[in-house]
Amino acid sequence: MKNSTTHLLTALTALTLATGATALAKPAFEDVALGKAYLCMDSDTSSGVKYMFSDYEMTPGVFTNNGNAYIDNIGNACGYSKELALSNIYVTYDYAAGGAPEKDPSILFGWYGGNMNLSINGDRHWGPHPGAFPSVIGGCNVNIVPLGGGCGRIDVVGNVNTISFGGQEFWLDDIQDSEGECDWGYEDLSPSLMMGPGMAFTTDGLPSKTRDFILWDGTPFSTGNVQVSVTNQACNTGKELELRSATVLHDILASGVSYENVEWAYGYYGGHINFEINGDFRFENNVNALDGQTIGGGLVTIVPVASNCGWIQVDGIVDTIAIGGQELFVDCLKGDEVEPSTAPGDLDGDGDVDVDDLMSLIASYGSSCSGCPEDIDGDGDVDVDDLMILLSNYGT
């Protein structure tokens, strides 16, 4: 039933109200054991929010207490890591129990068939699908935002003391503060921006450019484009980049730092992939083929959070990173800044003295280049003295 919901959720845009940035709403379930199960009358706490289970309304006025819920991690709510799965049961988040209502909460959901219950501040409603609920519940405005693939987001405008959900094949998760945690989230780019290959641009101080997409036979495809999207196809909020047979490169080192433990949100919807770290290029049939590869000195791990989206993680120093796709979305590039190395010989400033520094010095060996990084001792030329300094610090 999962795929059949996409068209229905897309049709829900008639319910969408004009809203600004989404507000976060817990619980996140990350502090609850994976697989933990619940029955009616059970209760628990996550992220400081108490939640309780009770009877599910199967049809108007007909209730059952035979359902169950459990902590899942398959990404059916298009969130991140753990989520709550409901099967013929009703759950209530009691925000007021923490001392104050939740203002303007937003919550991710995944609906894969069956009837639903929705209640805000005790105003309970039954519906055959997410689009069946009124636009005002419990004194709050309700806005359903489709995210595709069975997922959606419910935005509530107003003060919420309690909010409750019931479903037959229904998943719930919080919204990660992804854009707030992003080092580069493309929020400063114009939503009308569209770029062909070979265009340079800057986002939040990060020098970037678009490139040709390289086909399977090595031929560059030069008629693709990169554009700004707000469709959340990378399962994040806010703006993202849509790559249509094109590649985008970010020069992190040119921004003044190097990064490690890098993460990049992706949405993959078919076609081949170009991927490059520190100039080390790969062509792959899909995103998952990158998993486990060491590219440009960094170990790549693919962490899916839904059927079409997830995170590309790189364990290693990243000076430059590029990705290209035929139907690909990227968002929220982030990582840990590498502390500048104080060791003489770190010519590229990436925090260590390694083969890249050695090759740079060899390329300049014998030249006069006062002030260049390769002239480590500052005597105006690159000679054996500079080489010995570098070698004495090699590996630091």
Tell me the domain boundaries of the chain. Answer: 5-176, 179-337, 341-396
Q: pLDDT-based confidence at 134, cuts 50/70/90?
A: very high
For 309-358, write each residue's pLDDT tens digit: 889 999 988 999 999 999 999 999 999 988 666 678 888 777 788 888 89
Least confident of 17-26, 168-177, 276-285: 17-26
Tell me which fold the domain 179-337 belongs to.
Jelly Rolls (2.60.120)
Question: Are 5-176 and 179-337 equal in CATH topology?
Answer: yes
Contact 172, 152 (CB under 8 A): no
Mean pLDDT of the chain, nearest integer: 87
- Sign of the alpha-carbon dihedral angle for 219, 224, 228, 232: negative
Dihedral angle computed from the Cα positions of residues 189, 238, 248 and 10, in that order, rounded to the nearest 10 degrees = -120
CA 334 to chain centre: 10
Task: Give the β-pairing of 43-46 and 37-38.
Answer: unpaired
Q: pLDDT-based confidence at 151, cuts 50/70/90?
A: confident
Residue 38: is its pLDDT beyond 80? yes
Q: How far apart are CA 81 and CA 179, in angstroms?
A: 17
Can you give the pLDDT at residue 374? Answer: 86
Dihedral angle computed from the Cα positions of residues 202, 206, 210 and 215, in that order, rounded to the nearest 10 degrees = -170
**E-strand spans in 49-139?**
49-54, 56-59, 62-64, 68-72, 83-87, 89-94, 102-103, 105-111, 116-120, 123-127, 136-137
Can you give the pLDDT at residue 117? Answer: 97
Task: Give the β-pairing of 23-24 and 105-111.
Answer: parallel
Per cent of the chain over pLDDT 90 is 58
Alpha helices in the chain, H assignment, sequence order: 5-11, 178-181, 355-364, 384-392
Q: pLDDT-based confidence at 395, cuts 50/70/90?
A: confident
Instruction: Please tell me the CATH superfamily of domain 341-396, with its number.
Output: Dockerin domain (1.10.1330.10)
> pTM of the prediction?
0.51
Q: How far apart are CA 60 and CA 150, in angstroms?
A: 24
Can you give the pLDDT at residue 341? Answer: 62
- Helix, strand, or coil (residue 11): helix
Q: pLDDT-based confidence at 147, cuts 50/70/90?
A: confident
Question: Domain spanning 5-176 has what CATH number?
Answer: 2.60.120
